[in-house]
């Protein structure tokens, strides 16, 4: 019979405890949780603040009583582990209700201490208006503040929790300002995708401040109690300030016990979740993992990996052979009418690491275009020169979750662009197309790799707008008249074959840069031009992607733009 102590509940800890019981009916399993709730849906907290999940009890998945009845677990809430003696294999516990301490022996110890919100060391962080959202009591306080008449909120941090809380506050009718130090919202995706999310925020009357930090929270001279003081001196009045700047591993116990910890403060574990002590395992937001694409160390505080790690630690404790799988970091967020999702690496991260890669952008419909309600999905797929999938991002409405999950599965399986082209996916008009967006990404990627498609993008805009190339717009005259790149020649793609001599004359030996709205017509034109021996490239993702990547891009208005003479 083994005595196993689990420190911390929620995803990783409770997954470990439940699995331990299923593996060994005789084991003594004790779960120690310093909070009031041992098993709650922390991912549902913003939706409880918004009122979409109205019943608080819906967030409480299990109680000590239900866990004892179902799994014969000894679960002790409001019991905080304050020290680990690795030599004696004991933990010292403080009962926060009884205000006494006791010592527990263990044969195996599982640390699921999680992460804690980052609170910058700035003036005003201890004010009651400044809140975080990490557990059910945090949500209770926010709901009380809203019920008491809060009308104006400032959210600091435009990551996943920040965006979810922005939406929650707007759902409750508050005026909301969003502050993000990075040069974009949702830093987990690339800039062209992030700008689509920013546009959605602005459309829903969110005041967005990006590329700027804040210096303090101070008394306000307005009718609101505080001001968030931005780095440039501007002041944003608020009744409530939500800190969503990220989390850090909660590893004080591990450090004090002498366990190996990374320079980022995460517990270092083996592929079986074992720490540097052979009797201690660690799981969840507090540990270091391996990035599945980059192969480097990472900290990925997500519920899915934490649950799997808890299960794996339990198997290892019971003598089963296990090995953790590197983490993809697959995540998704709803922002008003849009959904944004990501898996694997972004182009920004790959470029910073010096990893050669290709990027494609496409805008397929979420289901058959002839079926009512079709909407575009903005899809980015990244892959290596040999075609191996490295990452993907999607922004849109219905169908984003389905596509990112397929791409995450493909990435996990080591699939290539060729594999995407050949995937057999469910099709009926309300759900997809005979050529699913995933297949379309595969086809497009194949064209890039085999040389049938040569592309240009936002990074080439200065060259494209110079006299060194011929810009060719192959959209309709109506589209062109409503806005086009300056100094571009209009020839609709359906007229291109008959007017090829005109293109040759205008190009005068210069390379041709072709564009359309989404990239498909310009690809057709590119193949015509290539067939006539002309040096051409098509705009990746069309104007939809270019304008998302460069929101301030100048667009000329008129029926026909002039072509510079050569």
173-197 per-position pLDDT tens digit: 999 999 999 999 999 999 999 999 9
Residue 423 has pLDDT above 90, yes or no: yes
Percentage of residues in the chain with pLDDT exceeding 90?
93
The pLDDT of residue 313 is 97
Q: Is the pLDDT reported for residue 563 higher than 80?
A: no
Q: Express the helix, strand and coil content of the chain in percent, nearest 5 each.
A: 30, 25, 40
Rounded Cα distance, 506 and 221, in Å: 63
What's the CATH class of domain 3-115+248-317?
Answer: alpha beta
What's the pLDDT at 554? 84
- What integer pLDDT is reported at residue 562 of this predicted model? 52
Per DSSP, the residues of 392-433 read EEEEESTTHHHHHHHHHHHHHTT-BHHHHHH------TTT--
Distance of alpha carbon 8 from alpha carbon 17, whole angstroms: 10
pTM of this structure: 0.93
pLDDT band at 564 (very low <50, low <70, confident <90, very high): very low
* CATH number of this structure's domain 337-449, picked from the four choices 2.60.40.10, 3.30.390.10, 3.50.50.60, 3.30.450.40: 3.50.50.60
Residues near 243 by beta carbon (within 8 Å), at least 6 away in sequence? 117, 118, 119, 120, 125, 130, 131, 132, 156, 157
SS (H, E, C) 147-206: HCCCCEEEEECCCHHHHHHHHHHHHCCCEEEEEECCCCCCCCCCHHHHHHHHHHHHHCCE
Q: In degrees rounded to 5, what are phi and psi of residue 190? A: -80, 160
Instruction: Answer whether 162's CB lies under 8 Å from 155's CB.
Output: yes
pLDDT grade for 39, boundaries at 50, 70 and 90? confident
The pairing of beta strand 240-243 with beta strand 152-156? parallel
Average pLDDT, integer, range 240-249: 95
CB atoms within 10 A of CB 465: 17
pLDDT band at 497 (very low <50, low <70, confident <90, very high): very high
Q: Residue 448 above 80 pLDDT?
A: yes
- Residue 331: helix, strand or coil by DSSP? strand
Q: Using one digit for the tens of pLDDT, what is the confidence trace for 338-397?
A: 999 999 999 999 999 999 999 999 999 999 999 999 999 999 999 999 999 999 999 999
What confidence tier does 561 reach under pLDDT thresholds 50, 70, 90?
Answer: low
Residue 21 has pLDDT above 80, yes or no: yes
Containing 478, the helix (H) or strand (E) segment is helix 477-481
Name the nearest CA neighbour of 171 among 54, 84, 266: 54
User: What mean pLDDT do residues 528-555 have?
Assistant: 95
- Which SS3 state, helix, strand or coil, does residue 499 take? helix
d(C-alpha 302, C-alpha 494), whole Å? 49
What's the CATH superfamily of 130-245?
Answer: FAD/NAD(P)-binding domain (3.50.50.60)
**CA distance linking residue 397 with residue 544, whole number of Å:** 16
Give the residue-averaged pLDDT of 428-436.
94
Q: Which residues are catalytic, by number?
A: 43
For the record, the structure tokens of 223 come out as 């009718």
For residue 82, give the 3-state DSSP assignment: strand
Q: With a cut of 50, say whether residue 566 has pLDDT above it.
A: no
Integer Cα distance of 230 and 487 in angstroms = 40
Q: Let me know if the fold of 3-115+248-317 is the same as that of 337-449.
A: yes
In this prediction, residue 277 carries a pLDDT of 98
Token pair 């060391």 is found at: 121
CATH of domain 455-549: 3.40.250.10
Angle between helices 191-203 and 542-549 (to 10 degrees): 80
Render pLDDT for 474-496 as a digit per residue (tens, 0 to 9).
Answer: 999 999 999 999 999 999 999 99
* pLDDT band, residue 560 (cuts 50/70/90): low
Per-domain residue ranges for the chain? 3-115+248-317, 130-245, 337-449, 455-549
Least confident range from 124-138, 276-290, 544-558: namely 544-558
């Amino acid at each position: 019979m083994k005595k196993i102590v689990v420190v911390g509940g929620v995803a990783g800890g409770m997954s470990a405890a439940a699995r331990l019981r299923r593996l060994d009916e005789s084991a003594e399993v004790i779960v120690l949780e310093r909070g009031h709730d041992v098993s709650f849906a922390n991912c549902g907290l913003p939706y409880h603040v918004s009122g979409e999940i109205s019943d608080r009890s819906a967030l409480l998945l299990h109680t000590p009583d239900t866990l004892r009845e179902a799994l014969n677990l000894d679960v002790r809430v409001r019991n905080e582990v304050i020290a680990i003696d690795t030599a004696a294999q004991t933990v010292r516990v403080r009962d926060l209700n009884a205000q006494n301490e006791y010592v527990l022996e263990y044969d195996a110890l599982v640390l699921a201490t999680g992460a804690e919100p980052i609170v910058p060391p700035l003036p005003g962080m201890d004010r009651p208006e400044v809140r975080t959202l990490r557990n059910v009591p945090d949500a209770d306080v926010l709901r009380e503040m809203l019920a008491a008449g809060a009308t104006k909120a400032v959210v600091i941090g435009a990551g996943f929790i920040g965006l979810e809380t922005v939406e929650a506050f707007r759902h409750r009718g508050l005026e909301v300002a969003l502050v993000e130090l990075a040069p974009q919202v949702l830093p987990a995706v690339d800039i062209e995708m992030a700008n689509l999310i920013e546009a959605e925020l602005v459309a829903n009357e969110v005041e967005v401040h990006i590329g700027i930090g804040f210096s303090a929270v101070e008394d306000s001279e307005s009718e609101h109690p505080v001001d968030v003081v931005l780095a440039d001196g501007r002041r944003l009045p608020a009744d409530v300030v939500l800190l969503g700047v990220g989390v850090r591993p909660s590893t004080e116990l591990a450090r004090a016990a002498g366990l190996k910890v990374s320079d980022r403060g995460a517990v270092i574990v083996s592929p079986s979740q074992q720490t540097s002590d052979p009797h201690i395992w660690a799981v969840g937001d507090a540990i270091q993992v391996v990035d599945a694409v980059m192969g480097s160390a990472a900290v990925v505080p997500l519920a899915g990996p934490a649950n799997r790690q808890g299960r794996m630690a339990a198997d290892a404790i019971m003598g089963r052979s296990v090995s953790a799988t590197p983490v993809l970091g697959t995540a998704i967020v709803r922002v008003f009418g849009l959904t944004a999702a990501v898996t694997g690496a972004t182009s920004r991260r790959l470029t910073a690491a010096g990893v050669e890669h290709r990027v494609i952008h496409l805008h397929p419909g979420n289901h058959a275009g002839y079926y009512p309600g079709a909407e575009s999905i903005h899809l980015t797929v990244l892959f290596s020169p040999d075609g191996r999938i490295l990452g993907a991002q999607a922004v849109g409405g219905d169908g984003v979750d389905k596509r990112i999950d397929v791409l995450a599965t493909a990435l996990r399986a080591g699939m290539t662009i060729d594999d995407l082209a050949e995937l057999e996916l469910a099709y009926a008009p309300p759900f997809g197309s005979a050529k699913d967006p995933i297949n379309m990404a595969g086809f497009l990627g194949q064209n890039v790799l085999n040389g049938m498609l040569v592309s240009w993008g936002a990074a080439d805009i200065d060259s494209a707008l110079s006299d060194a190339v011929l810009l060719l717009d192959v959209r309709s005259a109506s589209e062109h008249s409503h806005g086009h790149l300056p100094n571009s020649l209009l020839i609709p793609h359906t007229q291109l074959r008959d007017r090829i001599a005109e293109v040759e004359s205008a190009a005068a030996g210069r390379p041709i840069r072709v564009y359309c709205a989404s990239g498909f017509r310009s690809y057709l034109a590119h193949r015509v031009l290539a067939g006539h021996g002309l040096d051409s490239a098509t705009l990746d993702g069309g104007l939809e992607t270019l304008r998302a990547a460069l929101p301030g891009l100048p667009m000329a208005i008129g029926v026909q733009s002039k072509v510079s003479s050569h």
